[in-house]
Structure 1
Amino acid sequence: MKRPLTTAVVAAAALLLAACGSPQAATDGAGPIRVGIVYSQSGPLATYGAQYAEGFKAGLAYATGGSGKVGDRAVEVTYVDDVGDPVKAVSAAKDLIGKGYQVLAGSTSSGVALQVAPLAAENKVLFVSGPAATDGLTGANKYTFRSGRQSYQDVLTAKSYLGDGKKVLVFAPDSAFGKSNVAAVTAVLGGAGATVTDIAVPANATDFTPFASQIKAAAPDLVFVAWAGTTAGAMWQALDQQGVLASTKVVTGLDIRASWAGFGAGGTKLNLLAHYFDGAADNPAYQALKAAVPDGKTDLFHPDGFAAAQMIVHAVQSSPDDADKMVAALEGHSFDSVKGKLTIRAEDHALLQPMFRAKLTDATTASPAGVVSAEDATPPAAAMKG
């Protein structure tokens, strides 16, 4: 009789201890609010990821008044490297969800974001994507949001450069990011009466001379170049050497500052659309970011991380443990961030925001050349998929 009694007492004590330290305690308001950032710490987009992470940390401090808390609960952030690989990203996201994380963020790559988004819907967790620009994220599902711009907003910014031209060629990688840009240019400039063609470059290409020759032979009125990653310098050199920059109007996005030298001698000839560059806007959020980043030099994807932290803090203020209430808090929410006023469109979660034009005066200096209002850069509404 003594053995069963001892076993029962031990079992009861174990249950008591388990209850005191169980994961459920975190969802009863006693533990931290856990946020998982799955992004490119390494891989081809590691520099973008680093800027996003720096921006997120600065935005979290700004949104919480330096406390790192929402109410009396600390915001505990876990950073996981997906290497820009969708398979690794999905694995990491599943692991975090399995551990009880209710908030995910950070996708640097469009291909990664498109794979993580369905997980958010399946598991009913909040997902705030990062620099990933694919239009496919807008309206992806109820639980998916974005903290950066989308390709359609880039194209709307480029629209004014078309003038009376009718032949547009999109030069982009054969990837989710590239396809999104082709679709957006076709919709916007094609919808304005232009004939749009494209050259899809293999993602692993290193020799761009044959593709530059194809552009020259096509003789377009405007070339829209959508590019990201470490091969940009080689690509621009080929376009310049083959005379593309001198023979037609080339419009492209302004990448991170470190890439500007890669434009080469033709950089000052480009018509640049900009998601962001240091000095594009000036406000309290920008000043807070500037004070937090190395050397006080903000860059292209710092605002995406900053805005993500602001969005997440606002969402968890509504209910730290209920994703549906977080979603409701974000839908229609407007807030002041680094770029200016941002608004989350309720029906499809597009992030409405101002966009910028710029010119390079040299390899290290960008000058403002105009602001495209959030209204003029508003993408068409997408049907919510789930």
Structure 2
Amino acid sequence: MKTLTRIAAVTASVATFASAAWAEDPIKIALVHGLSGSSFEAFSKQAQTGFELGIEYATDGTNTVKGHKIELIIKDTQFKPDVARAVLAEAYGDDEVLMAIGSTSSGVAKGMLPIAEEYEKILIVEPAVADSLTGPDSNRYVFKTSRNSSMDMQAQALALQPDENLFVATIAEDYAFGHDGISAFKAALEGTGATVVAEEYVPQGTADFTAPAERLFNALKDKEGRKVILAYIAGGGDGPGKIKAMNPERYGIEISMGGHILPVLPTYKRFPGMEGAVYYYYEAYDNPVNDWLVKTHQERFDGPPDFFTAGGMAAALAAVKAIETADSLETEDLIAAMEGMSWETPKGTMTFRPEDHQALQSMVHFKIRVDENVDWAIPDLVRIIEADEMDIPIGRTND
């Protein structure tokens, strides 16, 4: 009897020790994004800063969830889909991460989707934008905290206040981001009476916009009504500025575009009074999460947070809430916790739509103001466009 008691005591002791050891195992999360090889590196660095700040905020500075320390593992995709697939597989397999976050480019992120399905592990897409990332080629392991092209363009359409007197010609980059964006913009204009008269797609990195701009001018110049060139260009090359330098005003043509990161906003000083839509501007949102982000970022980095910083923080806050609320760290329990999950971010409340795992969220309608005492053009808040004002298409049906 004493022997059995001792065995039971030892077994209980071993179980307690094993449980304690398990509780101390770190939760590994991979940030899989481009840190070399593209001008988009700045986006990745902002997203990483935001993610690290988000983990800090969500855990009250302890970096611990349910007794587990969070360990970040950084992987560089080099902005190449084949490299992204390889390093994501390495993160899921060799590094045994619980989940991954990435990537910066929509084209690269699209190549990562099947890897999440192969390893049956969560991939949170941030900050890539294309609608197709939650479309038919996506899968149940993919969640997306970044906005999508439909949000960009429905908000942009609302900012233009379209009617039958509006004629638009578009210019975008010739890859998933650009094509998805313009498709979403045209869908957003349906039923408003506005007309898209021409579309131009240019290679990423284009420096000379003369020929496509002339074609847009010719498509618009004889229209009777409001004439707008919509630029949807994420990379460098200063397309809108070069089109502006060609004097579209001589045909009564104006330029509209979405907002951008702070380093690009000085170029917007050439467009005073322009209205558009943007994912985030640090002065537009008034809530506790954004207040903390702005204050902390200003103190540590001597400047305000940018919009990819806010996106990275939103992804971190989603990851922590999922871990906190899931019944276990098994993938199926995480999926169950995340489908329909709402959480607070610098942009206010976001919600993962159960059908396709896109995070529904607000956007900012802005009007450009120029202040010579501020280095960049200021996208003054006109109003917050709430998530329920936008009819975002469902990308896929969950299985």
1:165 partner letter: N
Shift of 1:269: 4.1
How far residue 292 of structure 1 moved from its aligned partner, in angstroms, is 3.0
The answer as to whether partners of 1:156 and 1:376 remain within 8 angstroms in 2 is no
The verdict on how the C-alpha distance between 1:27 and 1:358 changes in structure 2, with shifts beyond 3 A counting, is farther
What residue is the counterpart of 2:111 in the other structure? 115
| Aligned partner of 1:90 among 70, 85, 88 | 85
Q: Give % identity.
A: 28
Residue aligned with 1:182, SS: helix
Where does structure 1 lack aligned partners over 5 or more consecutive residues? 1-23
CA distance in 1, matches of 2:20, 2:26: 6
Describe the shift of the 1:244–1:83 C-alpha distance in structure 2 as closer, same or farther (beyond 3 A): farther
Which residue in the other structure is 1:347 paired with? Answer: 355
Task: Return the alpha-carbon distance in structure 2 between the equivalents of residues 379 and 151 of structure 1.
Answer: 9
SS in 2 for 1:206: coil
After superposition, the Cα gap between the structure-2 partners of 1:61 and 1:253, relative to the gap in structure 1 and judged at 3 Å, is same
Deviates more, 1:323-332 or 1:222-231: 222-231
2:104 alignment partner, SS class:
coil
Contact persistence 1:250–1:271 (CA under 8 A): no
Displaced runs of 4+ in structure 1, greater than 6 A? 24-27
The AA in structure 1 aligned to 2:235 is G
What do the CA deviations read for 1:291-325 (whole angstroms, capped 9, x no partner)?
33212401111111111001111222215631111
Deviation at 1:248, TM superposition (A): 2.1
Residue 231 (structure 2) aligns with: 225
Checking the alignment, whether the CA contact within 8 Å between 1:130 and 1:148 is kept in structure 2 is: yes
Q: Hey, what does 1:316 align to over in structure 2?
A: 323
CA distance 1:296–1:115, shift in 2 (3 Å):
same
User: What TM-score, normalized by structure 1, do the two folds share?
Assistant: 0.87
Asked if 1:329 is matched to 2:337, the reply is yes
Call closer, same or farther: CA 1:91–1:166 in 2, change over 3 Å.
same
Q: Determine if contact 1:110/1:134 at 8 Å carries over to the other structure.
A: yes
Q: What does the per-residue CA deviation read over 1:32-80, in whole Å, with 9 as the maximum and x for residues that have no partner?
A: 1000001122322111111111110111111111111111110101112
Question: Aligned-pair RMSD on alpha carbons?
Answer: 2.3
Number of aligned residue pairs: give it: 361
Unpaired segments of 5 or more residues in structure 2?
Answer: 1-17, 371-375
Instruction: Tell me how far apart the structure 2 counterparts of residues 90 and 244 of structure 1 sit (CA, whole Å).
Output: 43
Question: C-alpha separation between the residues in 1 aligned to 2:155 and 2:392?
Answer: 11
Supply the distance in 1 between the matched residues of 2:334 and 2:21 (Cα, whole angstroms).
14
Whether contact under 8 Å (2:113, 2:142) holds in the other structure is: yes
SS of residue paired to 1:79: strand
Aligned to 2:290: 286
Q: 2:120 aligns with which of 102, 107, 124?
A: 124
Specify the SS of the correspondent of 2:266.
helix
Structure 2: distance between partners of 1:173 and 1:147: 23
Q: Which residue in 2 is equivalent to 1:299? A: 306
- Give the 3-state SS of the residue equivalent to 1:328 in structure 2: helix
1:59-208 aligned at under 5 Å gives the runs 59-99=54-94, 100-139=96-135, 140-160=138-158, 161=160, 162-196=162-196, 197-208=198-209
Partners of 2:23 and 2:120 in 1: how far apart? 19
Return the offset for 1:153: 0.6
How many Å separate the matches in 1 of 2:191 and 2:133? 22
> What SS does the aligned partner of 1:122 have?
helix
**Cα distance 1:191–1:382, how it changes in 2: closer, same or farther (>3 A)?**
farther
- Please give the TM-score of this superposition, normalised by the length of structure 2: 0.85
Aligned mates of 2:116, 2:49 — CA distance in 1: 24
From the superposition, tell whether residues 60 and 222 of structure 1 become closer, same or farther in structure 2 (CA, over 3 Å).
Answer: same
Residue type of the alignment partner of 2:290: Y
Partner in structure 2 of residue 252 of structure 1: 257
Q: 2:25 aligns with which of 19, 28, 31?
A: 31
CA distance in 1, matches of 2:118, 2:261: 34
Equivalent of 1:365 in 374, 378, 387:
378
Secondary structure of 1:301's aligned partner: helix
- Hey, what's the Cα distance between the residues in 1 that align with 2:193 and 2:163? 11
What is the CA–CA distance in structure 1 between the aligned matches of 2:364 and 2:329, rounded to whole Å?
A: 37
- Larger deviation: 24-33 or 62-71? 24-33
1:245 is displaced (CA, Å) by 5.6
**Aligned-partner Cα distance in 2 for 1:97–1:372:** 37
CA contact (8 A) 1:215 1:244 kept: no
Write the letter of the residue equivalent to 1:236. P
> Aligned partners of 1:385 and 1:176: how far apart in 2?
22
Kindly state the Cα deviation for residue 25 of structure 1 after the two structures are TM-superposed: 10
Secondary structure at the residue paired with 1:375? Answer: helix
Sort the Cα spacing of 1:264 and 1:344 in 2 relative to 1 into closer, same or farther, 3 A.
same
Contact persistence 1:355–1:377 (CA under 8 A): no
Contact 1:82–1:92 (8 Å) recurs in 2: yes
Q: Is the 8 A contact 1:38 1:81 kept in 2?
A: yes
Letter in 2 for 1:282: D
Call closer, same or farther: CA 1:118–1:25 in 2, change over 3 Å: farther
Quick one: structure 1 residues 155 and 71, their matched pair in 2 at CA, closer, same or farther if it must change by over 3 Å? same
Letter in 2 for 1:254: G
